Chains A and B, each alone.
Chain A
Amino acid sequence: MSRTIPRRAYRLRRAALCSLGILLIAARGVGAGEPDEYGPARLRMVDTIEEEFRWTASMVGPLDPAVAEIMRKVPRHRFVPDDYQGHAYLNQPLPIGYGQTISQPYIVALMTGLLDVKSTAVMLEIGTGSGYQAAVLAELVKEVYTIEIIEPLAKLARERLRRLGKHNVHTRIGDGYFGWEEHAPFDGIMVTAAGDHIPPPLVRQLEPGGKLVMPVGGFLTQYLVLVEKAGDGSVTTRQLLPVRFVPLTGDH
């Protein structure tokens, strides 16, 4: 017993220091001088996502550590309606009004990781929604161009992103079908508001070697589509199930 007490005390001290450090990092993401009451919840959310990735890595690959780090910083509660702030760090999709939703954090992490972009990348997002995905991308890449079709939603997102100091996110209200020609080509494109086909103009605005990611489904993401443009301009698509699931029994 006499030996265990100091060891436990040491562990506690270490844990406290770590938590403080993480909280400080997390608080930096929220905004200067603002208390971050959701910091611990955010860390738990990313722990949950990491846990899920341990299960699904064989299907979707590992969680990108850089994405995890960013999601520890970006305050998701600032992107959901007040009624849902208490749920903001649960790993679940949430309604954001106007019939739209903010994706499950696991799906956000997965889609962001699939783009596999460098810090110098220029990104296009079709469907700003709450602005959360753009805020995550903003931490990862050089510039983010995002287009939202629903005006009030676009204005809300623009204001949120401005308040959070995401100056490398450029928003536009309007039609995303033809992309954003002036800033093309893009190293990565994320289409979170898909119709019944991938707009061909978007693929044309994709840099060779770039990727386009698109979730298919409504409130629940049925599957993800990853369009890859090779160096020679040829295009392949992949359809990914976000979940570890083998459709035949006894075939795990």
Chain B
Amino acid sequence: MDENQPSRGFLFTVFLISGASLAYQVLSIRLLSIVSWHHLAYMVMSLALLGYGVSGTFILLASRLIERAPELAYVINAVLFGISSVGCFLAAQTLLVNPAQMLWEGQQVVRMATMYLLLSLPFFFASNCIAIAIVRHKRHLHRVYAVDLFGAGLGALGVVLVLHALSPGATLKLLGCVALIAAALAWSTLGCRPRSVSAYLALCALLAPLALSQPWAELRPQEYKGLQQALKVVGTRIVTERSGPLGLLQVLESPKVPFRIAPGLSLNTPALPPEQLALFTDADAMTAITRFDGDLRPLAFLAYMPSAAPYRLLKNPRVLILGAGGGMEVLQALYHRARRIDAVEQNSQVIGLVRDHYRDYTGALYARDPVHIHVAEARGYIATAAESFDIIQIALLEAFNTSASGLYALNESYLYTVEAFRQTLRNLAPDGLLAVTRWVKVPPRDELKLFATAVAALRAEGVEHPARQLAWLRGWRTSTLLVKNGKFRQADLRELREFCRTRSFDLAYLPGMKAHEANRYNLLPEPYFFTAAEALLGDDADVFADRYKFDIKPATDDRPYFFQWFKWPVLKEAFASRGAGGYALLDLGYLMLLATLIQALVLSVLLILLPLRFINRRGPSGPRALKVKSACYFFAVGLGFMLIEVGFFQRFVLYLSHPLYAMSVVLTGFLVFAGAGSMTLARHATPQAAVKRAVTAIVVITLIYQAMLPMLFAATLAWNDAAKIAITLMVIAPLAYFMGRPYPAALQTISERAPLLIPWAWGINGCASVLGAVLAMVISIDLGLSAVVYLAALLYVLAATLRL
């Protein structure tokens, strides 16, 4: 390697390593979601990414050593990236971490820290490669940086494509091989001796999958996961498996102790569930595939669940099921003789299982008349559906335990927002019903948020008396809210009362209902539901929501966190009453997010400040003011980049109707166009001028987008996917192009004035990116997505005023 232009071959290895590293980042979240839990995956991976930050510090400290043989250092780091990407994950999955147990047990914290450490190693080695390349080609660093961004962008896209064909475990091994091939190519293109090493490395890459085909290299979900527990029952086994980017699907049969899945089934039921198979997604979230042979009689139990209430009011309805899953709600509609059933499911593999693989078992449920199945995301479907429906059912999809612990708090959901409800109401035929079923929690949380959302949506639609269009009933385990497109009639109310009486379900709210009618069969300490309904329909709804100890204010598209209920005062009470089970009151998701932010902040500050001691001893590092300015500048730019990326990503999730595809398109778009911005940087007279122009453009474009994007999205939401992806990329292109410039432009400046600061700046950028991702989440939960984008623009302005 020399100080001249990097060769194309070498840049290709940078491309491969960057791509594999970002692919590994996406894949690790998938892998950890399978062996552990999604929220834990998010926290672990956020902190593991600090490996990027550590890398800057390491390169700085080891600069003398690396300078002696940078080529060797590059290849060694590439090899270690390949080995650690597979090895560290396999080691990390053996650590049994149970988030709930962490509240009691210090040992769990140590295991968690070990997990961070193990998973940060691959990022550390990959980042070392890029940092070494940037330092060695500092005159052309914008090109190296651009290739790094191109690689990362295509890595994000590539891994999603690969996950369609390979299992997550096989994809992991593939990434390890890609890193080893990059090392082999680097050895060759850098002219290292002996040449045979290159061949050996390539051979290792080819043989590695064989070596890793042993049982010890398989994914091992933690024993607390639903799948593992189900498998402990004698005779239970996995009979079918499908893997895709949306999740690992596993179907279990249990002939000795049959599955009986019927959420909230009434104790008065005359019939029990028939034979069922259990469908697990990512080794958790169990739903049922129910045996059906065309005879409706064995399905009688489906009339004894709160979700059956709308069928009591409407005969032979046209039904839309949002979240078809294994088909229980579809069967329920069929049992109640719906004349047309449209069922929406976002995972085509779930549909494939029920429609094709279990065609005979399910009585061709997804292929029989009058069922019409659609592969789509629910919000996207209702936004574009031309028909109107008599009943729209939002199925209960998430598992109770995960839901009850508030672990979905970090998952944005555009299905339970005021805007989504308004859209859904418009899709209802006159007198049609929207039915939403939730798990019952004590005291209630999301159930009340749901009611508040419905009230807000009705008001926003111009309904003067929302109270007349709402009915709410609950069993001991689930509650169902009915929102009618029109007023409930007395006959409707009589039917609902009878429905509840015969099933021992409680009336949570009915128009004109008296207080003594509430809380009769399933006694709560107080009639929480009725009290809340009355308050939320009254003039003091806001006061009630403020006084309620959980966050029950409606979710909106700007703050789409329906599952976030945490409020600070509960923490104190939960801790004080931990001896009586008080921790169960805590919503762990938000707390884990904050814990992640605090840990990331402390570690970042350490990683940024620690190297300064060494920089001072090592000669030409520039004046102190330059260091302070550099630190602030790179931190602001790193944070700003991430905040914009996350802020816009969330909006595109809604537009593209799918988190995973939105992530691929948005991430790839941002990184590739930012790479293009960096690549063309040399055309500018001075780096300062480039920064000024770029920041001006970023701020202007951001503000325009804030105002215009909702309109653009509304106008084009019904367009086909290809057109929407094209629009997304066109929207991202100019913004990302300019976002790709401030970082390499300033790096050029310091490469001339204080080259020692380059790896430090690289580390700061890494830390800021990690912090930015977590901070964006915290801000969007607390203040909304708009606040995230405005803060990002402010940070860019701040960076420009530093005039680095």
**Does A244 contact B577, Cβ atoms closer than 8 Å?**
yes
1/0 contact trace for B253-276 toward A, CB 8 Å?
A: 000111011111101110010000
Known contacts A98-B232, A250-B547, A236 near B521 by CB under 8 Å: yes
Residues on the B chain within 8 Å of A216, using CB: 400, 404, 477
1/0 contact trace for A185-206 toward B, CB 8 Å?
A: 0000000000111111001000
**Does B549 contact A221, Cβ atoms closer than 8 Å?**
no
1/0 contact trace for B385-416 toward A, CB 8 Å?
A: 00000000000000011001100000000000
Residues on the A chain within 8 Å of B477, using CB: 196-197, 216
Within 8 A of A (CB), among B397-450: 400-401, 404-405, 440-444
Q: How far is the CB of A202 from chain B (nearest CB, A)?
A: 9
Which listed residue (B228, B260, B548) contacts A177, Cβ 8 A? B260
Known contacts A95-B101, A150-B233, A195-B261, A243 near B580 by CB under 8 Å: yes
Known contacts A99-B229, A219-B100, A248 near B267 by CB under 8 Å: no
Provide a sorted-by-A list of 22 A–B residue pairs whose CB atoms are within 8 angstroms.
Answer: A56-B577, A59-B525, A90-B104, A99-B225, A99-B229, A177-B257, A198-B476, A216-B404, A216-B477, A217-B404, A218-B224, A221-B581, A235-B504, A236-B504, A236-B523, A237-B267, A241-B525, A242-B584, A243-B582, A245-B549, A249-B547, A249-B569
Residues on the B chain within 8 Å of A25, using CB: none
Which listed residue (A92, A97, A196, A200) contacts B104, Cβ 8 A? A92
Which listed residue (B98, B265, B524, B577) contacts A197, Cβ 8 A? B265
B583 at the A interface (CB under 8 A): yes
**Does A218 contact B401, Cβ atoms closer than 8 Å?**
yes
Do most interface residues of chain A lie in helix, strand or loop, or is the interface mixed? Answer: mixed
- Extra contacts, 10 of them, besides A56-B580, A227-B267, A238-B523 (Cβ < 8 A), are A48-B579, A51-B579, A52-B579, A99-B228, A106-B581, A107-B581, A200-B268, A244-B577, A248-B548, A249-B549
B213 at the A interface (CB under 8 A): no
1/0 contact trace for B513-548 toward A, CB 8 Å?
A: 000000001111100100000000000000010011
B585 at the A interface (CB under 8 A): yes
Residues on the B chain within 8 Å of A250, using CB: 547
A39 vs B419: C-alpha distance in the bound complex, in angstroms? 60
B223 at the A interface (CB under 8 A): yes
B495 at the A interface (CB under 8 A): no
Q: Counting chain A CB atoms within 10 Å of each CB, which of B228, B256, B272, B569 scores highest?
A: B272
A159 vs B261: C-alpha distance in the bound complex, in angstroms? 32
Q: How far is the CB of A250 from chain B (nearest CB, A)?
A: 7
Q: How far is the CB of A213 from chain B (nearest CB, A)?
A: 13
**Does B442 contact A239, Cβ atoms closer than 8 Å?**
yes
Within 8 A of A (CB), among B207-246: 222-225, 228-229, 232-234
Within 8 A of A (CB), among B244-298: 256-258, 260-265, 267-269, 272
B550 at the A interface (CB under 8 A): yes
Known contacts A197-B264, A219-B101, A227-B267, A247 near B528 by CB under 8 Å: yes
Residue of B nearest to A175 (CB): B257
Residues on the A chain within 8 Å of B577, using CB: 52, 55-56, 243-245
Residues on the B chain within 8 Å of A199, using CB: 260
Residue of B nearest to A90 (CB): B104
**Does A200 contact B272, Cβ atoms closer than 8 Å?**
yes
**Does A247 contact B581, Cβ atoms closer than 8 Å?**
no
B369 at the A interface (CB under 8 A): no
Q: How far is the CB of A192 from chain B (nearest CB, A)?
A: 14
Residues on the A chain within 8 Å of B267, using CB: 198, 200, 203, 227, 235, 237
A53 vs B13: C-alpha distance in the bound complex, in angstroms? 65
B721 at the A interface (CB under 8 A): no
**Does B232 contact A223, Cβ atoms closer than 8 Å?**
no
Known contacts A197-B263, A200-B272, A247-B550, A238 near B522 by CB under 8 Å: yes
Q: How far is the CB of B112 from chain A (nearest CB, A)?
A: 16
Which listed residue (B223, B256, B441, B547) contacts A99, Cβ 8 A? B223
Residues on the B chain within 8 Å of A238, using CB: 522-524
**Does B223 contact A239, Cβ atoms closer than 8 Å?**
no
Q: How far is the CB of B480 from chain A (nearest CB, A)?
A: 15
A93 at the B interface (CB under 8 A): yes
A164 vs B577: C-alpha distance in the bound complex, in angstroms? 33
